[in-house]
């Protein structure tokens, strides 16, 4: 399921989802809220200005910026209709009491942004919201033309623009309404998404975004460095010891009596050491494949294709090396997608394509399987989306019943020099 309206708009079957209805509800409730706020602010301003002559209304005028606080909280609740709401941007007062609360709120940038959002909603946005919702009544009126004509018996005035007095034109208008009504879901959802993005920017926790982004970048870099350290330690330590053990057991088998039980036990121990070595190599490859660190993402994708039980066509062309966190996330996405295709899709062939477009690493993994991939069934797509989101990436999946399945990953990335220092 799409996590925001922009993902939903790019997917087939958008009109069968709840997003058009959620968008209409968001615009309608926002429009009515803005209208009520407009009336409240006008009454508040007039009353404060009138009473300020007696000095009684002066506190009302001074408290006017605080009207954005409850409305901002209401706007954040409404954003649940358009996805996850933003966090509360306000911090706790330094001390108890009304004076400390007022001092804290008036010193915060979030308070003034919420005031600006309230002014926009009250005097600019609410007419646009209600006008957009009212626009959906036009195709509804067209659809109802034959019924209205049958009810009147003589003629019907359609939208106060045209008079219809025969069934032919009435049904033609109804057909036009049947086409326009679902088509209206796209611009309505886009308008609701743009409005929600503006409200999210004005009422969300913007003051913490910069530090959160920097903190997440540091965590990602530290995580990738730790993965490489573990891979190196296993490769140079435990794996070498297992290789030495396997060689020692092989030599011991040569010195053992040919028909005695000792030779059989040494053979079993030798086979067990070889299996442990193979499992350790697979574990090392899963933690951070050496080919990814040494030769980059294209060769790592080719290596995944060689290891896949499915025939896989690989077309990954990049102009240079990418940051380690980006390469790791891209490799993990391809690995997870090919694993799902081999285990769950019933596909006979898969394809991996990758390129860099407009500062984005774009990876697409497709298969000719049965489709119907659903993150709720534990196919690993939810964890993959979280992994990609850590590097500010976006994951989209198109998998209608019957197939084919297409997984697309977009990750922002700069280019690095072709040769990476060790």
Q: pLDDT for 399-413, tens place per residue? A: 888 888 899 999 988
Report DSSP state, residue 92: P
Report DSSP state, residue 419: S
Token output for 419: 């040769």
Residues 346-368 have a mean pLDDT of: 90
**Nearest CA-CA partner of 40 in 70, 2, 83:** 70
Instruction: Tell me, yes or no, whether 14 and 122 share the same domain.
Output: yes
- Total domains in the fold of the chain: 4
pLDDT at 206: 55
In this predicted model, what pLDDT tens digit does every residue of 182-210 receive, in sequence order? 888 888 899 999 999 899 888 876 545 44
Identify the burial level of 350 via C-beta atoms within 10 angstroms of its C-beta, where 0-12 means exposed, 13-18 middle and 19 or more buried. buried
Structural contact between residues 27 and 195, judged by C-beta atoms closer than 8 angstroms:
yes
Token output for 235: 């490769």
Instruction: Tell me, yes or no, whether 323 and 363 share the same domain.
Output: yes
Structural contact between residues 328 and 301, judged by C-beta atoms closer than 8 angstroms:
no
Structural contact between residues 407 and 397, judged by C-beta atoms closer than 8 angstroms:
yes
The DSSP line for 325-345 is HHHHHHHHHHHHHHHHIIIII
More confident residue, 151 or 326: 326
User: For every residue of 344-367, which 3-state class applies, written as one string?
Assistant: HHCCCCEEEEEEEECCEEEEEEEE
pLDDT at 285: 58
Structural contact between residues 317 and 355, judged by C-beta atoms closer than 8 angstroms:
yes
Q: Return the top range by mean pLDDT from 4-13, 332-341, 366-375.
A: 332-341
Token output for 83: 């996805």
The last residue of a domain, from among 70, 98, 133: 133
| Structural domain for 387, as ranges | 294-412
In this predicted model, what pLDDT tens digit does every residue of 90-143 receive, in sequence order? 877 767 788 888 888 888 888 888 999 999 999 999 999 999 988 887 777 777
The residues, any chain, with a CB within 8 Å of residue 184's CB and separated by 6 or more, are 135, 136, 139
**Nearest CA-CA partner of 135 in 192, 77, 76, 198:** 192
Residues 20-38 have a mean pLDDT of: 93
The last residue of a domain, from among 133, 167, 187: 133
Instruction: Tell me, yes or no, whether 121 and 143 share the same domain.
Output: no
Q: Is 421's pLDDT higher than 60?
A: no
Q: How confident is the model at residue 13 (pLDDT cuts 50, 70, 90)?
A: confident
Instruction: Tell me, yes or no, whether 272 and 312 share the same domain.
Output: no
Token output for 119: 């002014």
Q: Is 63's pLDDT higher than 90?
A: no
Residue 185 placed within a domain: no
**In Å, how far are 23, 145, 152, 157, 229 from 172, measured between CA atoms?**
28, 9, 18, 15, 70
């Amino acid at each position: 399921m799409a996590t925001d309206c922009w993902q939903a708009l790019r997917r087939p079957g958008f009109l069968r989802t709840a997003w058009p209805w959620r968008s209409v509800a968001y615009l309608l409730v926002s429009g009515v809220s803005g209208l009520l706020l407009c009336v409240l602010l006008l009454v508040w301003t007039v009353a404060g200005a009138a009473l300020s002559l007696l000095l009684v209304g002066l506190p009302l005028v001074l408290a006017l910026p605080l009207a954005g606080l409850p409305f901002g909280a209401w706007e954040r609740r409404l954003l649940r209709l358009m996805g996850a709401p933003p966090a509360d941007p306000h911090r706790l007062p330094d001390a108890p009491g009304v004076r400390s609360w007022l001092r804290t709120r008036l010193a915060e940038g979030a308070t003034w942004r919420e005031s600006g959002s309230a002014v926009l909603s009250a005097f600019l946005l609410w007419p646009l919201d209600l006008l957009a919702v009212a626009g959906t009544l036009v195709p509804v009126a067209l659809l109802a033309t034959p019924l209205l004509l049958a009810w009147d018996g003589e003629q019907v005035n359609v939208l106060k623009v045209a008079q219809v007095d025969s069934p032919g034109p009435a049904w033609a208008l109804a057909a036009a309404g049947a086409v326009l009504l679902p088509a209206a879901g796209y611009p309505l959802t886009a308008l609701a998404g743009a409005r929600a993005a503006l409200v999210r920017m004005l009422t969300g926790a913007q003051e913490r975004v910069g530090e959160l982004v920097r903190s997440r970048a540091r965590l990602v870099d530290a995580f990738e460095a730790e993965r490489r350290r573990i891979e190196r330690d296993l490769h140079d330590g435990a794996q070498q010891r297992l290789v030495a053990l396997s060689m020692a057991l092989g030599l011991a088998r040569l010195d053992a009596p040919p028909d005695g039980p000792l030779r059989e036990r040494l053979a079993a121990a030798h086979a067990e050491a070889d299996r442990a070595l193979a499992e350790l190599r697979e574990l090392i490859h899963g933690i951070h494949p050496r080919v990814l660190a040494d030769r980059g993402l294209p060769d790592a994708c080719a290596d995944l294709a060689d290891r896949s039980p499915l025939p896989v066509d690989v077309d990954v062309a990049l102009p240079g090396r990418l940051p380690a966190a980006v390469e790791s996330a891209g490799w993990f996405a391809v690995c997870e997608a090919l694993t799902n295709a081999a285990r769950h899709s019933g596909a006979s062939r898969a394809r991996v394509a990758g390129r860099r477009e407009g500062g984005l690493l774009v990876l697409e993994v497709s298969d000719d399987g049965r489709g119907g991939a659903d993150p709720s069934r534990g196919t690993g797509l939810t964890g993959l989306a979280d992994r990609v989101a850590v590097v500010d990436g976006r994951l989209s999946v198109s998998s209608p019943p019957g197939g084919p399945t297409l997984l697309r990953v977009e990750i922002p990335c700069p280019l690095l020099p072709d040769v990476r220092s060790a």
